[in-house]
Each structure stands twice: as structure tokens, then as C-alpha cells.
Amino acid sequence: MTTDHPARMPPLPDMVIEPLVRAALAEDLGTYGDITTRTVIPAGTGYQARIRAREAGVASGMQLAAIAFRLIDPDLRFRVLIPDGSAFAQGDVLAEIEGEAASILSAERVALNFAGRLSGIATQTAAFVAETRGTSTRITCTRKTTPGLRIVEKQAVLHGGGFNHRFSLSDAILIKDNHIAAAGGIRAVLRAVKARASHMIRTEIEVDRLDQLAEVLDEGGADVVLLDNMTTPMLRDAVAMASGRIVLEASGTMRLDRIAEVAATGVDYISVGALTHSSRTLDLGLDF
């Protein structure tokens, strides 16, 4: 499994994602810490452990795993063997941890929860990206993320070779069908954007019919059109109508088995909520 996108990007600053890991550790340790480990593991017992893949995939979450072990015990030595954004095979060792056995055991579950969840997203993204090979279409995520984990789930999409949509409601103007209905129509919302929006903010508008697309093209004021729940022939007609004048994003019913035919229509982006809301957690284990 490979990615065409430069997935090995610089990591996020640790200070940005450390609060997520700290909260997860606090949840797991409870009010009195890891009583099992404290009861059965003698102090000073050293060990070396490995995070091993029990199935193939694309790595993501190694940075969070490293932070989890460091927060439990700064003296633990954590060495990444397969960095975020890299493909791995079943049985591969993703990382090694050496130091106090009790510390390793106390951080194990949080580290694996993050690494398994995010590697699942990266792996699913890579599968969608593979279906676009030979086209210029890009796979992008949505805001359908786990509350509180958006930044790392979107980073996992990047690790899988995908691209990020907006991070929050304040990043860009995205006019959906309900906005159009409440504001009085396509021309009304686009005129409002032209009158009020900053020149630094991009605008996307959702349509589900070709006559709506024609209205958007005639009125102007949008940078991107979201083609929602259109059939493949409709998407092909939309690309012909736009003729490169505006960025087109296809959305809705974007299953893995449909991506190749949608990409072949010539749309610029395909947004897939399932990358983050329905990806399966990858099976990773920690072996002593």
C-alpha cells in the first residue's frame, strides 16, 4: 500500500496535541492510577516492548503514542521504526519502548487507542486515494469527526494521502441547502457574500441540480461548488458546464467502489465523511 501524496509531513507541535493525550491518560488512570501494575510489577523492573501491526495499513498516531509514554514516564525510551504516513505489513514493528515495565503497561492502552484509531483513518484514506490514481481528483475529509479529536483525525487523513476540508465553521464560507432556503435562494446568498465577506475568505456553495449550478456560474461570487448526491452522468455534465471556471467538489454516497468512476468525471475533489466517521480501528498490539 502506497500514497501518492507527500504524507511524511512535519508533525504537529507536541504542545498542540499533548492536551488530548493528557486527558485520555487521566480518564484511563482514574483516581488512583494503575492499581494492577502497582500490585504485581516490582519497582525497578525493566523491559523492552514493541508496538506490532496485526494487519497491514498506513501509520498514524505514532506521535501521540510517543507523548503518552513520555507523560507517564519521561525516562522511557520510545523509538519509532515506521513513521506516520508510512505503509506497513502485518507483523511489522512500528515502534519500540524501553524502560520501567510498570510505566510501559500504564501508558499502553492510551497509546494503542490513538495509534489504532488514527492508523485506521490513514489506511481507509489510502484506499480511497488509490481509486483516484491516474486522475487529478483529490480525496478530502469533512467535519464529521470525533468531538475533540478533529485535529488528529484530519492529520491522519493527510497521512493516508488525502487532503483536508475546512477545520471549523470559521475557516471558510460553505453555503448549504438550508442556508439557501433560509436566505431566499442562490442569488440572494451569493450577493450577500459579495457584499459582506472578506477578500481573504473563500466561498463554497452546495447544489444538487444542474440548473442550480448554472445559476451559480451566472451569478458568480463562489470559489467552489459542492455537487451533492449527483449521479455520475450529472457530475460529468457539471464538469462540462463549469469548463474549468470553478473548483468542483463531489459529495454524498461516495463509497469506495464508486470513487474511480466519480474521479473519471473530472471533478477536482471528492469529499468523504466516512474517512473519519466510519473508519475501522486498525489492530495494533503491544508485545513484551
Q: Which of 110, 107, 7, 20 is nearest to 57 (CA)?
A: 7
CB 4 within 8 A of CB 139: no
Residue pointed to by grid coordinates 464560507: 173
Q: Which of 97, 80, 132, 164 is nearest to 264 (CA)?
A: 132
Taking the C-alpha atoms of residue 149 and residue 21, their distance in angstroms, rounded to an integer, is 10
DSSP assignment of 154-218: HHHHHHTT-B---SSTTSSEEE-HHHHHHHTSHHHHHHHHHHHS-TT--EEEEESSHHHHHHHHH
Residues with catalytic roles? 109, 144, 176, 206, 228
Number of C-beta neighbours around residue 280 at 10 A: 13
Q: Which three cell numbers stand for residue 175?
A: 453555503
Burial 225-244 (b: 16+ CB within 10 A, else e): bbbbebeeebbbebbebbee
Rounded to the nearest angstrom, the gap between the alpha carbon of residue 155 and the centroid of all alpha carbons in its chain is 5
Cα separations (Å) of 74 from 30, 66, 77, 85?
A: 20, 10, 8, 25
CB 7 within 8 A of CB 85: yes
Q: Which of 282, 21, 1 is nearest to 128 (CA)?
A: 1
Q: Which three cell numbers stand for residue 286?
A: 503491544
CB 136 within 8 A of CB 5: no
